[in-house]
Amino acid sequence: MVVPSETLRCVAQPMACTIPETVFYGSFMKSILVIGGGSSGVELARALDDIGLDVTLVTRNSTFFWAIGALRAAVEPAWVRQLFIPYDTLMRRGRVVTGTVTSLTDREATLADGMVLGFDVAVIATGSEVPFPAWPTTGMVAEAEAEYSALATRIETARLVAIIGGGPVGIELAGEIAGAHPGKAVTLLEASETLVGRYTSTQFGASLKRKLVRSGVTVLTGVAVVSALDETPVRLADGRVIEADLVLNATGGRPNTEFLRPGLGDVLDPAGRVIVEPTMRVRDHPALYAMGDVVANDEPKTAIVANAHARVVAKNILAWSRGEAPRAMHRAKTRALMLVPLGKTGGAAHLPVLGGIVLGDFAGRMKGRDLFVSRAWAKLRAVMPETGSGGT
């Protein structure tokens, strides 16, 4: 539930009331602060709330965004409306605070508006900053729709579209464009020799490459782009020039952890990811956990892995609430479970068994049909309206 409690009202209007500078929600119970209301954040907040613990979820935007469904909006802008999901029904007792955490210590989190949230345990789940169009640049539904509409028009009118980055996002984006605009010249550029990345078998990348080529996409692997990621034409390190009217950046995200640098710079690895113990506790900081894309483990950055982290953190926080030591451990996954749709009817899946099993179009279709949007609404215990909901 989003609870505009008296305390929250006071925090929102600090001049109107006298309250301590640092707010502790749930003062009769140990208080848990989850930072970031994305895939793993909502999973954990809901699980802890369900078992009766006191949870505050603080997150940047007032509505959850289902990034897994985002790329279809590049060709069907109205699609984005249903990807914004209210947090109202997520928790029964806990609360969701809209705000951006700008610094964190072992005891409190400071938000951009000056609000300070105290906690007994905090969980860092701030995910990745991903470039548009994989994630809108705004948390507001109308603005996001306008942003995707403008892109859809540019894609429609472009003669040549180049996509930089042959990971799952670049592949899925190429598939959406090829599916919606058969015959459109689309070039996918990837720096390594195989598509998708190192947590899947080479057969998986090869299978997706074959399917893309069959749908008219030109796939160039082993090419290093040296021009800016939105610049036309695209210049390659070997001197080649790839003509394009529109260049789309699908090179992946960077972790949202800058806010940790002032107080907790010691927890970050050189890539800016949080170093955790197998219990998902932040190294040398017993009151802090981290999960999801921000974690420094060498494993796929996927919602599937993020949710596996959340389950371990939930067990360990439950143990802590009973005065026990954290015992649940996460073993980093070296192989990914992955479904990559190519438009609404094709794609492939990679199963992380026997070195990686590749399944064909029917598996891609499982995700491609609705990009799991209805599952996202169920995850937040929200009822999906016909026309989606608005964010603020």
Ligand X SMILES: Cc1cc2nc3c(=O)[nH]c(=O)nc-3n(C[C@H](O)[C@H](O)[C@H](O)COP(=O)(O)OP(=O)(O)OC[C@H]3O[C@@H](n4cnc5c(N)ncnc54)[C@H](O)[C@@H]3O)c2cc1C
Determine the residue with CB nearest ligand X.
38
Q: Which two tokens stand for residue 322?
A: 């009973």
Judged by beta carbon, residue 18 or residue 75, the one nearer ligand X is 75
Residue-by-residue DSSP string for 258-272? GGGHHHHGGGB-TTS
Judged by beta carbon, residue 236 or residue 366, the one nearer ligand X is 366
CB of 371 to ligand X, least distance (A): 8
Residues of this chain that bind ligand X (CB under 6 A): 35-41, 58-61, 67-68, 70-71, 100-101, 125-128, 130, 134-135, 169, 256, 259, 292-293, 301-304, 306, 339, 367
- Which strand ranges, in their side-by-side order, compose the sheet holding 22-23? 22-23, 116-118, 108-111, 101-104
CB of 235 to ligand X, least distance (A): 26
d(CA 335, CA 269): 22
The residue length of the chain stands at 392
Residue with tokens 């929600």: 25
CB of 293 to ligand X, least distance (A): 4
Judged by beta carbon, residue 10 or residue 366, the one nearer ligand X is 366
User: How far, in Å, are 29, 316, 320 from residue 324 at the CA level?
Assistant: 16, 9, 5
Closest CA relative to residue 51, chosen from 4, 93, 2, 88: 93
Residue with tokens 């420094």: 296
| Residue 34 near residue 56, CB atoms below 8 Å | yes
**At CA 249, angle to CA 245 and CA 252, rounded to 5?**
170
Judged by beta carbon, residue 235 or residue 381, the one nearer ligand X is 381
CB of 100 to ligand X, least distance (A): 4
| Residue 209 near residue 348, CB atoms below 8 Å | no
CB of 238 to ligand X, least distance (A): 29
Judged by beta carbon, residue 301 or residue 330, the one nearer ligand X is 301
CB of 24 to ligand X, least distance (A): 19
CB of 243 to ligand X, least distance (A): 26
Judged by beta carbon, residue 38 or residue 326, the one nearer ligand X is 38
Question: Which positions ≥6 away from 188 have C-beta within 8 Å?
Answer: 162, 163, 166, 170, 171, 174, 195, 212, 217, 218, 219, 220
Judged by beta carbon, residue 100 or residue 345, the one nearer ligand X is 100
Closest CA relative to residue 2, chosen from 372, 277, 381: 381
CB of 241 to ligand X, least distance (A): 28
Helix (H), strand (E) at residue 303 = helix 303-321
Judged by beta carbon, residue 285 or residue 350, the one nearer ligand X is 350
Judged by beta carbon, residue 235 or residue 346, the one nearer ligand X is 346
d(CA 183, CA 243): 17
CB of 151 to ligand X, least distance (A): 14
